[in-house]
Structure 1
Amino acid sequence: MTTDNSKITRENILHDVKILLSTYGFKTSDIYDRSCFDILSRKDDILIILKILVNIDSLTATQAEELSKIAGTFLASPIIIGYKSKHNYLEEDVVYERHELPVISPQTLCNIIVNNIHPEVFAKRGGYYVKINGNLLKELREQNHLSLKELADISHVSRETIYKYEQGNSQTYPETAIMLEKVFNSPITMSINLLEADNIKNTLDKRISEPKELINLGYDIKSSNKTPFDAISERQNETQEIIKLKEKLENKIDEVEKLRNELNKKINNNILITNLERNRNEKTLNKIANKTEDIANITDHDAIFVLEHEKDKDYIKKIPAIYTWELNDMDNIEDLIKLIKERKEEAETEES
């Protein structure tokens, strides 16, 4: 991804990023200029949520918090793509941070997507740092029959420093890592995989009291700010199937990755992207439906409209319309899931 510095605009970066992702097999959403995120993109089990800026210092704490919560709810990886800060241009293959979210340049994203080259260097106050693979360092030291002190003397650091590296306190300057790598003629630094969402802990937490019909069926309704949809509806209680999967995950270390993927799929089924009527006219509802359908396709979640006033349609665009009286007549969530499926199929049949 080559860039002409004299023509850098947010629109140009957005355009280039979307083409990059689409070219390399990612299913990519529309661009949402007034949202806390700009693009959602999925490839297999990887879901990334991107905010594009020219100057990364323009990201506010409020935007970052909402983006982090949306990413956590969807089990997505949040990434800020930027070109410069107030004082410097972003360097290639370096991970920066703003409000606890990772920030990279467009070229770094290109290296990750095109060449599967993940950055190893991250920038913090005080300079650039890398993380050392402590287990590998200890293994190499023992293979070469070196004591902690002997390795420390060779690499011009203290014995205590080598011990900390091996115990997992692995943050250090790149120069120190290079010196250790020269000793063993082997790479020992760890790459930073920004496409992994395992460490995302924030989720939407602002509960609202509408639509009460979904709440009565056992959903938590959590509102989202500056997103193309109104809320996320999530089942309040874990099913026995999810509880059993978590127990297996704790007891079978060798099957962690397989079980995590299975668990995530089950958890994902809990989420409904939810839109409310709120006295909106049909034109506005159609506009919301277009955006919601796009996001539902990328995140692989179902979406619905909850409507209070009777209309002559069971869906808006391709989004099922569920009426409050229908929700009141339902005995359990399974009834709702069945109705959503039926109306999705009706909408798809009508489309074809």
Structure 2
Amino acid sequence: MTKDILIHQIIDVLEKSNFTVSSRCNIRPRSFDLAARQDDVLLFCKALYNIDSLNEETASEMKALAGYLGGTPMLIGAKTRDQMLEDSVVYVRYEIPALNVQTLYDYFVEGIPPLISAAPGGLYVSIDGDVLRDARSQLSMSIGSLASHLGVSRRTISKYEEGCMDASIDVVLELEELLDVALAKSIDILGPFHRSRQETDENGTLHPPTNGILSFIYGLGYDVLSISQAPFNAVSRDCSTTFLTGVSKYSNAMVKRAHLMSNISTITRTRSVYIIEGESKITSVEHTVLIERKELDSLSDSEELDDLISERASESVDY
């Protein structure tokens, strides 16, 4: 399977489950290939045939971007090391959920969440400790007798009931047969992901950017998340506005990136702004507002930039 085929399969699954999917992010390097939204669910999807080829830097940016925009990073692939990814199993790479296309389909199209997680040593299932405790009590079975039946320690049973230890598939099946209850807890692959610690200081705020223009935007009163593996250079926000932020000279390559930024911004529900170093021939590319650096220098706070973006966006025309 090639990466192109994998991406087409991902798009097909997401569209079948009523996601609006962005154009493919075709810059290199890239922290995500697709952004997709279904109501309040926002995904940043990275497609890799071998999920082990994800590196820490890309994963960190993926998590930071998703956390900053209220989304979920997701890795979709086909294999790990020398074996194919199994259906209904969630793998994890750098705290990002990784799964195959079939598991993606089951979750979003069929509404069937995965139950199994892969970890060093094998496949495991999270047990609903409350259900286990209630079922054991109803059978008047002590922790010791249950532990003896399974051939594990009393402490292991206690950890299962406290919800702080996963069990092997065989143990869960044996428990469910013995107690006649369903114990496996489904995995929430849309769980919260927060900004990477590398993107924040000890107080939990973003580090000031080092780029001159981004530093100026920061000085106007915006939080600025610098991005190195996307069509845009940053995501900037204040109390009223969030915008994808590009910075470069005017060029054909810049126009192509502005088109892609415009498309992605509709998915992320943000604005899209490109700061032009030098002169610009136009004032917008689709929904991406173009602002010359000299115009930026005349502004004194975020409110003035918000007003300029709004004014220019209302005048924007397709390019």
TM-score between the two structures when normalised by the length of structure 2: 0.87
**Gaps in structure 1 of 5+ consecutive residues:** 1-7, 240-268
**Contact preservation (8 Å) 1:48, 1:78:** yes
**Contact preservation (8 Å) 1:204, 1:223:** no
Deviation at 1:41, TM superposition (A): 0.8
Deviations 1:55-92 (Å, cap 9, x if unpaired)?
Answer: 22322233223322222222221111111123111111
What SS is found at the alignment partner of 1:303?
Answer: strand
Structure 2 CA distance, aligned partners of 1:189 and 1:78? 24
Aligned pairs (5 A) from 1:151-166: 151-166=146-161
Q: Which amino acid aligns with 1:192?
A: I
What SS is found at the alignment partner of 1:115?
Answer: coil
Deviation at 1:127, TM superposition (A): 0.9
Aligned residues: 308
Deviations 1:206-246 (Å, cap 9, x if unpaired)?
Answer: 622421442221124332122111122244xxx6xxxxxxx
Out of 219, 222, 225, the position equivalent to 1:222 is: 225
Distance 1:118 1:200, change over 3 A: farther
Distance 1:139 1:326, change over 3 A: farther
1:191 correspondence with 2:186: yes
Distance 1:199 1:138, change over 3 A: farther
**Contact preservation (8 Å) 2:36, 2:267:** yes
Q: Which amino acid aligns with 1:27?
A: T
- Residue equivalent to 2:163: 168
Percentage identity across paired residues of the two chains: 31
Out of 246, 253, 266, the position equivalent to 1:284 is: 253
**Contact preservation (8 Å) 2:250, 2:276:** no
Out of 233, 236, 240, the position equivalent to 1:233 is: 236
Structure 2 CA distance, aligned partners of 1:83 and 1:329? 51
- Residue equivalent to 2:312: 343
Structure 2 CA distance, aligned partners of 1:97 and 1:215? 34
- Residue equivalent to 2:86: 91
Deviation at 1:332, TM superposition (A): 3.4
**Contact preservation (8 Å) 1:272, 1:303:** yes
Distance 1:46 1:116, change over 3 A: same
Q: Which amino acid aligns with 1:229?
A: F
What SS is found at the alignment partner of 1:290?
Answer: helix
- Residue equivalent to 1:249: none
**Contact preservation (8 Å) 2:272, 2:287:** no
Off by >6 Å, runs of 4+ in structure 1 = none
Q: CA RMSD in A?
A: 2.4
Out of 303, 317, 320, the position equivalent to 2:272 is: 303
Deviation at 1:325, TM superposition (A): 4.2
What SS is found at the alignment partner of 2:52?
Answer: helix
Structure 2 CA distance, aligned partners of 1:25 and 1:203? 33
Out of 242, 263, 286, the position equivalent to 1:294 is: 263
Deviation at 1:298, TM superposition (A): 0.9
Deviations 1:266-311 (Å, cap 9, x if unpaired)?
Answer: xxx553210113x342x22211111101111111111111234354
Greater shift in the superposed pair: 83-92 or 317-326: 317-326
Structure 1 CA distance, aligned partners of 2:253 and 2:195? 33
**Gaps in structure 2 of 5+ consecutive residues:** 200-206
More helix by share: 1
Q: Which amino acid aligns with 1:49?
A: F
Distance 1:216 1:302, change over 3 A: same
